Amino acid sequence: MDETPQLRRRPGRPWALAIVLVIAVDALLIGSRTGECIDYTAESGAGSTCTSGPVLGPAGTWLLAAASVVVVLYLARRLARAARQR
């Protein structure tokens, strides 16, 4: 009767952690912005300008968002399957 207790494995945990990781990476990359300012002297007559935008650029941001949606949907499907098998 000396049986060692076995740890119960939670099958959905890795999928849930992967979803959280994808969301965290997206928040970091999409939430960050980059920019530059060009200052002209008053004698030149031109005005100073500043621009800013997403770190990955508009096309990269849309591509990241689309890929993330696909990955999160896949992981959510795997999570649901793991929950059903429980």
How many Å apart are CA 15 and CA 7, to the nearest integer?
19
Q: Is pLDDT of 2 > 80?
A: no
Q: Which residue has the higher pLDDT, 47 or 12?
A: 47
Distance, CA of 69 to CA of 21 (rounded, Å):
13
What value does the mean pLDDT take over residues 19-39?
Answer: 91
Asked if 34 and 51 touch (Cβ cutoff 8 Å), the reply is no
Look at residue 20 and tell me whether its pLDDT is greater than 60: yes
